[in-house]
Each structure stands twice: as C-alpha cells, then as structure tokens.
Structure 1
C-alpha cells in the first residue's frame, strides 16, 4: 500500500510495509530534506531477497504528516533503490 506523506514541506509517497519493524528513508531523501542524523548508530538489515544492507544512521522524532495526521517518526537511513520512504510498524502519534 502507498500513502502520501509530507516531511519538511516536501510531499513523498511512502510504501507501507507491515513486515518492517522500523521506518526507512533513503539516504538521498534524508540529505534532500536536510534531516540530521542522531548519534553514530549503524544498522545492518536483511531485505526480502536476502541481501544485507548497511544503514547510515538514524534521524529521531522527525515530524511527518501521513495524509493529514501528524506523527513523530524515527527513520533509519538506507539506500532504498526506487523508494524514498518505507513506513514500518515503528511510528506513533505525537
């Protein structure tokens, strides 16, 4: 399922992935939206085809509109290929 989201005034389309425990934002989108990464956390994730990807930090408590509803979301930066944003199960209302 795809949902419209707005981060820092820029409209994106999020892929909703109920199998993801975290939210992911492409490194390119993270730079474009000028989101600051918190700490030096590094993650390694395994994607559906079995490939392992290295994540490049976390942006914490970023305000986002999912449709018209406000949320505060942590994002893990990763090279997502054709998607800018994957919305997993780790999001909550402010």
Structure 2
C-alpha cells in the first residue's frame, strides 16, 4: 500500500458522534471496542491489540496516515483477513495497524463501501432536555 490514508477526529480521540457508532464485539474470542466511522478511509486495528492477539502483520511499503488532528504519521504493514464478529455477520477484512488510543478497531469506508446499496439518514437533531 502506498499513498495517504485518513482518520477522522472522531477516530483519533474516540468521540462518539451522530456520524459514528461504537460496538463491543469479538476478535479471536477477545472482546474489543469497534468504531464504525464514515470519516475514516480505511479499516484500522490497534497495533497493541494486533500484538496481543499475535495477528500476523504483512510487510508493506510505508504509508502516511492523516490524523483527524491535522498531524500526519507514518504507518506500515497490514493485518490480512481479520475476522470481526458482529451480531448477525462476521466481517473478514484487512486492517492497518496503528496506535489508536481509546478504540481497538475502526471500520471505515473501505468496509462501508463494500456493502450493498443502502439508504442511511445521518441527520443529527439536537433536542434540548
């Protein structure tokens, strides 16, 4: 992989906003925090979690990761064929290892774009209490 991939500010700092969703799911039987974020270009996995689960990391050319904070960091490698178990489906996809902080896994547009055509209303309505 070469080029630049991107994470949203939500992914970087673990914010839950109306344009993200967090789920607790499993990888290899271990409970993980999964964020679905349409602001992330690719799928990411915590480098720490990848090490803990002994996931093989395939060597790649280094790539730039534009963080939602505006900073750019270098990444490298890819975890191929990782299975994330959701309630009604298993997602098998590739993930870029990166220091993620508060989130274990980010499902970004790489995965979202693979889904069948769907209609989603992401409108945010702020109701004052």
TM-score, normalised by the number of residues in structure 1: 0.86
Q: How much is the aligned-residue C-alpha RMSD, in angstroms?
A: 1.7
Alignment partner of 1:86 is 2:109: no
Bigger Rg, structure 1 or 2: 2
* Structure with higher RCO (Cα < 8 A, 6+ apart): 1
Alignment of 1:1-94 (within 5 A): 1-91=21-111
Question: Where does structure 2 lack aligned partners over 5 or more consecutive residues?
Answer: 1-20, 116-129
More strand by share: 1
* Cα distance, 1:4 vs structure 2: 2.2
TM-score, normalised by the number of residues in structure 2: 0.65
Q: Report Cα offsets for 1:57-84 as digits up to 9, x if no partner.
A: 1001112212341111100001112222
